[in-house]
Structure 1
């Protein structure tokens, strides 16, 4: 008999989300106002203020998705044809798509074997005279070494962008919020993230000029204070009032979401602590636990074994490094050996959810122990 014969809660069902009365009231508030466009309403502006306050940064810009937030950041960094941006090969395409859209070149640096986050030394080795920025992804909610990356970027005059789509309220080893070290930090409100408005994004910064550029780029380069004139390029990445209102309600819940995810993750980590050959994230205290990553000897075998026990798991997280996708050319196999080994062999990722009960976590632990024993 498998450990579980009923599915675990997922983000694609009500029981796996924190959507409730507050979100319903928010939607009705906007509908009753008759103003659904954030250019003319107050929900988008209020969301920006609340996000900036949550992270202690000077400005926040709301937009239509996490990918859009990254595009705002890349555009604000003035990335253009021939400019290079260094980032990780283990991430969603949304991390690199904006660079390509601006005509820039993505330079992939290898990752640390222990957690899949950018290796700062690989980043520094990849810098050329064309490099303009680094995008650090806090993979699965675990901290990239933004302190070291900040030093590297400052030494070379580069912009540091933090992709915090998976790392709401995550912290680094010094207890500093992820998203407060980079020049710009970007967040996602997509269905699968800690909190959701279906889609939506936020970019935060302490630099008023970067904030101005991002705000303009999100609204077709239109500075509405001086009439209908477009002095620089932009797109329509505006968030809607409906999405912003739902996001405001969700923003008020994110601290509790992360707290419960951490509590359940601590339970699982304790249950697995004595298993040889199963490696947990190296710095769990500040982890945001978007997913629960493990290092094993054969991720395909482990994923198959866990599925047989009723526990889903993703071998490698991605099917291939980003640079191995057909959209790219000129990136050879073996470019980032640590990333390739993680994807092909050692990285196993479990879905994670604040709706998991202690009994759910106990079942996951038992399933892992059974596969380990086999």
Structure 2
């Protein structure tokens, strides 16, 4: 029996009654598009982050696309980000005609190397797009200083960092705007696609709401002010998410408990375990470890029915779809070296201790640690 569990099913078994009640509530409400559930979730998600505005959209990629457009980023503008991220981060930049500019990561935590950002800023730079990767935050103080000095906006990519904090500030509350994904595997996930963009700026929020509804102002339909998208958060997903939001602290506690068990069981091996950077509270969206014999270890575990994942095996700057950007092997050496060695252990709040112990024991055996 495989120990790989990347589905919603274990959580669903625990929360089935509430999830099905959420669906029933929406279906019986008579409002299926931008109704009470979406507006309620938007208010509650904004309040959780101490932000003034939340605009729910159809997925995390469009949360970035609309966020960039609402911040005034357009064709030819440069957006500084990282290549060790899910491709949608970069796809969103290109979708609006902007140009991704990559900086390397730091080897200790796999986060944006903020010290490289200053040198990457040019007169065409419009926005900084830090990715709060794997469940912890980029050090934002230095990034905000750079943004202020150069008159730039910051769009936080928070798809992997629901509930994470940096020196007491939540991921999503430290930039001009922030984009979230509610894909089912996320720390706060729905039962389909979904996303949201947060901001404290009322004008940005107004543009976001217009952009998600074809370019029309809500309440003034059939008149397009600025061409936009059909990019609305679904009522069913919103009702599920607003209920799950109340359980987010429990999810975070469960993920940290799993992380602690891995750390205890593997600390005497030569695996490089996750490092928590100063000021961060990690939420362990994924539990990423590193070893120079990664492929051998994964193959040996697969033979034992333990099928693991790599986030991410191919840095974005070396993908053929982004070859036109001109990056070559060696452009981002820290990112490239890590991509050949990192892999992720099973991580979700309800991971049974027995399953986790099976994974730990198998890794120890493969590494020859008794």
**Same fold by TM (over 0.5)?**
yes
Q: CA distance change for structure 1 residues 240 and 282 in 2, over 3 Å: closer, same or farther?
A: closer
How do residues 150-165 of structure 1 correspond to structure 2 at under 5 angstroms?
Answer: 150-165=144-159
Task: Find the aligned partners of 1:82 and 1:211 in 2 and give their Cα distance.
Answer: 23
Task: Find the aligned partners of 1:203 and 1:267 in 2 and give their Cα distance.
Answer: 34
Q: Is 1:8 aligned to 2:3, yes or no? A: yes
1:135 to 121, 129, 132: 129
What corresponds to 2:329 in structure 1?
Answer: 333
* SS of residue paired to 1:305: helix
What corresponds to 2:292 in structure 1?
Answer: 297
What corresponds to 2:237 in structure 1?
Answer: 243
What corresponds to 1:274 in structure 2?
Answer: 268
What corresponds to 1:26 in structure 2?
Answer: 22
Task: Find the aligned partners of 2:114 and 2:15 in 1 and give their Cα distance.
Answer: 38
CA contact (8 A) 2:162 2:283 kept: yes
1:184 to 159, 165, 177: 177
Which consecutive segments of 4 or more residues in structure 1 shift more than 6 A? none
Between 1:195-204 and 1:278-287, the stretch displaced more is 278-287
Q: Deviations over 1:268-287 (max 9, x none)?
A: 11222222353332439611
1:112 to 106, 114, 119: 106
Cα deviation for residue 302 of structure 1 reads 2.1
Q: Deviations over 1:224-266 (max 9, x none)?
A: 3445322212111011212211222222222211110101111
Q: Deviations over 1:75-118 (max 9, x none)?
A: 11211111000111011121112211111111111111112211
CA contact (8 A) 2:258 2:347 kept: no
C-alpha RMSD of the superposition:
1.9
Q: CA distance change for structure 1 residues 229 and 33 in 2, over 3 Å: closer, same or farther?
A: same
Between 1:60-69 and 1:217-226, the stretch displaced more is 217-226
Task: Find the aligned partners of 1:241 and 1:282 in 2 and give their Cα distance.
Answer: 36
* SS of residue paired to 1:20: helix
Q: Deviations over 1:25-53 (max 9, x none)?
A: 11111111232111xx2111111001011
Task: Find the aligned partners of 1:283 and 1:312 in 2 and give their Cα distance.
Answer: 28
Cα deviation for residue 197 of structure 1 reads 3.1
Task: Find the aligned partners of 1:309 and 1:138 in 2 and give their Cα distance.
Answer: 33
* SS of residue paired to 1:86: strand
Q: CA distance change for structure 1 residues 32 and 120 in 2, over 3 Å: closer, same or farther?
A: same
Task: Find the aligned partners of 1:296 and 1:9 in 2 and give their Cα distance.
Answer: 20
CA contact (8 A) 1:9 1:15 kept: no
1:36 to 17, 22, 32: 32
What corresponds to 1:3 in structure 2?
Answer: none
* Structure 2 residue ranges without an equivalent (≥5): none
Q: CA distance change for structure 1 residues 258 and 105 in 2, over 3 Å: closer, same or farther?
A: same
Taking structure 1 as the reference length, the TM-score comes to 0.92
CA contact (8 A) 1:52 1:204 kept: yes
CA contact (8 A) 1:9 1:16 kept: no
2:191 to 168, 186, 197: 197
Q: Is 1:81 aligned to 2:71, yes or no? A: no
Q: CA distance change for structure 1 residues 196 and 11 in 2, over 3 Å: closer, same or farther?
A: farther
Task: Find the aligned partners of 2:133 and 2:299 in 1 and give their Cα distance.
Answer: 23
Between 1:20-29 and 1:267-276, the stretch displaced more is 267-276
CA contact (8 A) 2:61 2:92 kept: yes
Cα deviation for residue 9 of structure 1 reads 6.3
Between 1:360-369 and 1:260-269, the stretch displaced more is 360-369
* Structure 1 residue ranges without an equivalent (≥5): 1-5
* SS of residue paired to 2:180: strand
Q: Deviations over 1:318-356 (max 9, x none)?
A: 231112222211222222111111112x21222311111
CA contact (8 A) 1:197 1:244 kept: no
Q: CA distance change for structure 1 residues 226 and 366 in 2, over 3 Å: closer, same or farther?
A: same
**Residue-pair matches, total:** 364
Task: Find the aligned partners of 1:187 and 1:13 in 2 and give their Cα distance.
Answer: 19
